[in-house]
Amino acid sequence: MFDGGKRTIKSNAVYSRQEAAEILGVSLSTLKKLIDAGYLQISRPAGVRRVFIQGSSILEMLNDTAIKQH
């Protein structure tokens, strides 16, 4: 879903790495750095290469890293 040119992040939705990168407007390598640094929580079921990212993790990262304006 797009709203005003921006994709709406649904907290209960599950996103692939590609989808999460597109939502955040970053490259896959930057997304990997965010995951490796612990900013984004991922799920990877045993025996599956694919990584899943919950919308709630994306929203939490954005809230936790927001710059406060004075």
**What is the structure's pLDDT at 4?**
44
**What is the structure's pLDDT at 22?**
94
Please, what are the domains in the chain?
Answer: 2-64 (1.10.1660)
Indicate the burial class of 60 (C-beta count within 10 angstroms; 0-12, 13-18, 19 or more): middle
Residue 5's contacts (CB-CB under 8 Å, 6 or more residues apart) are none
Question: pLDDT tens digits, residue range 5-61?
Answer: 567 899 999 999 999 999 999 999 999 999 999 999 999 889 988 899 999 999 999
**What is the structure's pLDDT at 6?**
62
Match 């927001």 to its residue by tokens.
66
